[in-house]
Structures are given as structure tokens and as C-alpha cells.
A and B are shown apart, each in its own frame.
Chain A
Amino acid sequence: MKQTEVCSAIKNISKIQPAELDKTAGGYGDFEWWGLSPEAARKVMVNKSKALTDKTTTTKEAVNRFVKDGMNIAIGGFVNTRPPVSIIHEIIRHGAKDLTLSFQSNSICPELLAGAMLLYPNQVSIKRVELAWWGYEVIGIAPLLRHLNANGMIMMDDYTNYGMSARFKAAAMGIEFIPVRDHGGSSMELTNRGKMIKSPFSGKHTYLVPACYPDLGLIHATAADKFGNCRIFGAHCTCPEIAMASAHTIVTAEQIISNDNIRTYPNLTEIPFSAVDAVIEQRFGSYPGICYGHHWFDMEHILMFRSASDEFRKSGNTDKLKKYYDEYIFGCETFDDFIGKLPYKTLKKMRDLDGGQPIITA
């Protein structure tokens, strides 16, 4: 059980037994970084070339170069907004085991990885997840998360959406932890890896969450130049913080724009080139999710994948789920091949539903 000298009165109302708390992320042994330590992350950055070099590549090359077993992979976007789906497809084709996933709220990305783990455990596996929320919002709960959790197949470390965002922000700031005004007084104070302290200034109780320094950040941006300077329109989610927290970051962009254009509006750069290691121009890179200014989400496609997942959860029948992976992931060499399988009318409808939101790319 987590040993702290200072705590709220959560123990007065918590139902969680001490033996169970010993198995939670916060109660299990001494604190350990689930990604890099602040020192290791700084060292990686210090040792990188800061040259303005052309980092454009293919998703396959980027994933080959940066994805390794046992990594902490941070997933950008927020639920159905700008999820980095094209990179997730490639990671599943490439294979990656014993992953730690970190994100605030996501839908299809962790579900795709979870489905790959359940169907092809020798290809993909998730060891643990540090998160705030995993589901589809209006479309429903995440069936594969529910299955993994019910069967004790993954360790979960729960924070709030701000908690996870602040953890990435702390890492982007190069610090070890950050004080936040949530988690205290909730069961998360007992289960997660944060800690309550007395403020050294006022003496008041203050909750600290550890920074999250992922090995690899995955971001889909509205636009980027070939050096990795990124522009994000619509909600930023926690993408700038994730990119700057991670040891390495792969960016897919809806559109590659010129460095001249970046330099014309430097205030619009949300992620600087020095935080980015690979840039791929990938139109519809967030499909079936949303990319503001380009397209809305495809509810029918998400429903199709979700219902195949739910059927597996309820009956154990993998047929439909396997068919999805065979058709849309393993049956495709690239993400363009996947998008190429979608009817023109689907893509047009998604574009129309965005309503042509104003973005600055020229």
C-alpha cells in the first residue's frame, strides 16, 4: 500500500481492501518511471542533432526506426479528435510487445491495439496503461478495454484528464512532478502513483503527479513543415505537451506546408521542429476520427469495428474482429491503401460535415 505521511480522509469512505491496494500502480513497490526518467529524457534530447533537416519519411520507416518492445507509447489527440490512427495501424503491422500506453482520453487507437493483442498476442501486447478515459463517447463503452480489465490482462493507472495532461506538461517542462488540484479525496489518491504532500509554503495539502516521459509520442497535426514544426487547429488536446514530453515523436500531418509559411506566422507553431523526429504527410491520418478543418468522424466505421469488438467480448467469437484486421490492417501495405478502400461518398460526407472550418496553411 502507498505509504504517505499526508493524505486526505479518503480512507474513511474507500471500499478498496489493503491487499488490493498493494496490487495497484500506486501501491506496488517503490515508485518507478513507466517511461524515461527526467535525466534520461534530457540526455536523449541533448544528444539529438538540432539541425533543420528534412525529416519527411514514410510511416513504415518511422515505425521501423522508433518502435521497440517494452516502450511507453503516448497517444495524441482526444477521444475521436485527431487520434493518430495511421501510425497505430503501422505499429500493429510492425508488431510491438509489452507496451505501456499513456494518454488522457482515447477511443479507437487503444482499442485497435487491444484487439491486436487479443487476436495476435505474439505480435502485439499491452502490459499497462496510464490514462484518464478509454471509450467511444456517444458511440458507447470500449468493449476490449472491458474485456482486458475483467480478465486482469493489463495493469491500469487512473488519473483525471487534467492529471494526465499535467503529467505530460511536467515532462515537457523538464521537471519531475507537478502539483495539481484534483485526485485528492478520490480513490485515485490511493491507487495511482501521485502523492499528497503538505505545501512547503502554506502547509496546505497539495497533490503531486509524477511527470510522464514517454519513449515515443504519436501525433496527428493539421499541418507541419518538413522539419517538424507543427500547426494544430481545433482543440490542441494535449498534443504539444505530448510531443515535447516524449523522447522521440512521430508526426503525421494532414498537409506538409512550407517553412516560409511557418516563419510567416511563428506564433501558430504549437510543436517546434526540435521536438519532432519524423514527419509524414498523411491525409485522413486520423480516420475514422476527426481532423478539424478537414473532416468529421465516421460514426458508421467506428460502429462496425466496435460491434465486432463487442461480439468478441460477449461470445468469444473472433470472426468479425479478425475480418476487420485482415481487411483493413493486414490487407493493406500503407494507410493510403486503407483509405483507398473507403467509398468516395463516405469521405465526401465526412468532409462536408466538417463544414470547411477556417485554418491557415498558406
Chain B
Amino acid sequence: MSAQYTPFEMIAYTGSRVLEDNKIVFVGTGLPIIASMHAQLTHAPGLGLIFEAGPLAPIMDMGMPLSVGDTRACRKACFLKGLCGVFELTQRGHSDFAFIGGAQIDMYGNINSTFEGGTYINAKTRFPGSGGAGAMAANCEKTIAIMALEPRRFSNELDFVTSIGYGDGSPDYREKAGVSGSGPYRVITNEALFGFDEKTRRMVLLEVLPGRTADDIQKKVSFELIISPNLKEMAEPSADDLKLLREKCDPDGYFLARKLK
């Protein structure tokens, strides 16, 4: 019998599982930071973080940074410059993982975080914009995305491609785009974990929440999913994992205590 957890705790825990020891992850605000902190505290003590305002491999002993340039994100770093410094390391191949969010994703892992509805000039809902995400998805080696599982978000057609995935799925899309990373790797939701098919570059359902079926997940996705022949159940966080997440990673509940809309 597993412990009770919130949807965001499941996302953070799954994010932690996807990360690897002795690698560098370039993180956005919120759940990516929490997932990376959990990974450092458990299976990946040698995981280094990059925050885009400038630090590489800080020690987060004052708690979760609330902003990717704040004091907690910079404290006790091994290397601390500015945006040019860390993004240029990324172009050079130092960042193994990009860990980003977004508003919409398509079957090829392209992500929109610029606007939804209306036009680019007069958006119904303008979002903050690319920030670092577009550069991270282009040049970190592998991209991990976090998204809420809804048909509106797992979309056939994006209003704007902010962060490059596999484009139209053609084999040379990324090369023609002039980017250097290999592209989308995992998409994490609270009900499913996705990967990408090597041949078609389309999104593949790898794991489902215990009790869910592939069909349940397909109903929440606007495009046709490839279902892995080895479909697995997602691992659930143990009581110890939840204790770490709640007490060490996000003790004030900024991200983990939120309710799913």
C-alpha cells in the first residue's frame, strides 16, 4: 500500500526518477527544481544544477530557490557568472538535461509558452514568453517537459512554437534549425510518463498511473499516441520520498500543495 500523494508530488517524484547521477540538469522554476533536489537527496547525489541567471552546481542548503536567479540558487555554486556564461556552456554540450514547462505540447514535443488564442500580435492570453526554455530545448542534450494532462494542452497544433522539439517529425528538422541538442526525451504528467519513438519521433506512452489504462490517457490527448509494447505502471513515491519532498524540497508548499485546476 503506497502513501497518499498529490498530483504535483507525483510529477516531482517522476521527474526525480528520470534524472541521472553525475549529469548536469538546466532547470526552470518550480517543479523542475523540486525534482532535481529530490534526485540529489536520493539516487543522484552527483547531479549538478544550472540556473539560467548564472550559477552552476550550487548547494541548496537554504531551501528551494523561488527564482532562477535568486540567492538560494547562487549560494555556494562552483561557478557563477551570468546568462551568457551558462547558456554558452549549454551550447558547448555541458547540459545533459533541459527541464522545462509550457502551456501546450504537440506529438513531436514542440512546446508553446508564448500565447494561446487570438494572434501573436493580439493574443487572447499572452504568457511571459520563452525565457530560457527556447534556448534550453535547443541546446541541452535531452529535453524533459512537465505538462498537465489535458486535451487542450496535448494539442494537434500549437499557436506558437516557443521551444523546439522534433518540429514536423522530419529526420533533419533540428539540423536545419541550427540547434545542437538531440531533442525531446521525456514528458511528465501526474497520470502518465511519455517518451519519443526513435524512428518517427512521435510521442510514446511509456508508463501510466496505477489503475489507469492506455485508453484513459489517450482520451486526454488530442493526437494519436504510440503505446509502448512494454507499457508499465508508474512507480509511486514512498513515505520517505514524500517526507523529503514535503520537508526538504518544498516545505512551504509553493508548488507541491497546489490543487490541479
Residues of A within 8 A of B (CB): 8-10, 12-17, 20, 23-24, 77-81, 104-105, 131-135, 137-138, 141-142, 145-146, 149-152, 155, 158-163, 165-166, 169, 180-189, 191, 196, 204-207, 234-241, 290, 292, 296-297, 299, 353-355, 357
Contact = CB atoms under 8 A, between A and B. Distances in A.
B237 interface: no
A73 to B, nearest CB: 18
Contacts of A159: 130
A159 B87 CA distance: 14
B67 A135 contact: no
10 contacts: A78-B83, A79-B69, A133-B132, A135-B128, A181-B180, A183-B138, A236-B85, A296-B70, A357-B74, A357-B75
A348 to B, nearest CB: 16
B48 interface: no
B184 to A, nearest CB: 12
A133 to B, nearest CB: 4
Contact of A132 (B67, B129, B174): B129
A237 B133 contact: no
Interface string B44-65: 0000000111110000001000
Closest 3 A/B residue pairs (Cβ): A185-B177, A135-B128, A236-B82
B179 interface: yes
B70 A297 contact: yes
B127 A141 contact: yes
A24 B69 contact: no
Contacts, number: 254
A149 B126 contact: yes
Contact of A138 (B67, B126, B163, B168): B67
B53 A81 contact: yes
Please tell me the size bucket of the interface on B.
Answer: 35 or more
B68 interface: yes
A158 B161 CA distance: 12
Interface stretch (B10-18, B152-160, B228-236): B152-160
Nearest to B132: A161
Contact of A133 (B82, B87, B122, B130): B130
A132 to B, nearest CB: 5
A132 B122 contact: no
Contacts of A186: 110, 130, 134, 138, 161-164, 177
Nearest to A8: B177
Contacts of B189: none
A271 to B, nearest CB: 12
A160 B69 contact: no
A179 B234 CA distance: 42
Contacts of A207: 177-178
Contact of A80 (B70, B139, B158, B177): B70
With a 10 A CB-CB cut-off, give which of B108, B115, B159, B179 has the most chain A CB atoms: B179
B124 interface: yes
A127 to B, nearest CB: 14
Given A133-B131, A160-B131, A161-B132, A290 B67 contact: yes
B135 A238 contact: no
A160 B133 contact: yes
